[in-house]
Structure 1
Amino acid sequence: MGVRGCRRQQRRRAGGIDHLSDLSDDLLVRVLELLPDTRDAVRTGALSRRWRGLWTRVPSLRLISGGKRRFRGARGAKRFLALVDDHLRHRDHKAAALDHLTISFAMDPAGQQARQQLRSRSIEAAQRWIFYASRIGVKSLDLDLTLPLSDYRRLYFFR
């Protein structure tokens, strides 16, 4: 039996009822708000047309570079900074209020030259994100910008 036949059979067993489609958009937005990372909420847009753009109505965004989807090295750090900018740009055009914004970026140790470039890029990005949050009236901003320990020692202890 093909894939289509299996799906038809599953629908018959379930009575052909799609309970998810019966939920209101407000309830679906609440479900998306409970996801641990905004990237997961954005990916739900692939489920159906109805889910596309729902993530922009979520009142809190959480963008975290660590965890199981770690952005490693200089290339990964640049991708994460671009991802945050892209999410905020998409969010900027929507009317839904943003109450909470959490951005956590932990930079991996890299070569000296790459670290210097990433440090200046990440500081510039953090300034943009703070300006964005103040411009749209975010109620709470949690910004965690972590440099490698060797950079802290060099910047603060050996001056």
Structure 2
Amino acid sequence: MKPRQKKLAYIIIALVALGAATGLVLNALTNNISLYFTPTQVFNDEAPQGRGFRMGGLVAMDSIKRQSDGLTVHFSVTDSAKTMPVVYKGFLPDLFKEGKGVVVHGKIEDGGVFRADEVLAKHDENYMAPEAVYAMEQAAKGASTANDASSVSEPATP
């Protein structure tokens, strides 16, 4: 091989290796992205199906039910517009309570139940993730707009 051919071969090998490394990194990033949704967005089918994502809101009042095995817990997460049932098997954080903020990670199962594999409780009374605050405000605005529109009646015709 001539020196020029060797140099060209090294450049081609380096470009192939760089392309493979870039492809592997992008694939890893794509598989590990965990998007955040509210219960309203999940009900509107904006959440991915068959893939894990995060859902956040408040634990609905009087929704926590524990099974006899001591580990499985059924509860609901609400954004004040929609409520989503959640099933979790494992130990819950100490700050997990009804009416408090929570972020759950998992997937939607058949039947519309969210199967959580991780539960994160809000750690401070004054803190809520900015995305959660914005999403809950938008859900509340949407609910109030829908209620306003449904309460408007047409004038009676004589």
The TM-score range, normalised by the shorter chain, is under 0.3
Larger radius of gyration: 2
- The structure carrying a bigger strand percent of its residues is 2
Judging by fraction of residues, say which structure has more helix: 1
**Scaled by the length of structure 2, what TM-score is found?**
0.26
TM-score, normalised via structure 1 length? 0.25
**Whose relative contact order is higher, 1 or 2, with alpha carbons under 8 Å and at least 6 apart?**
1
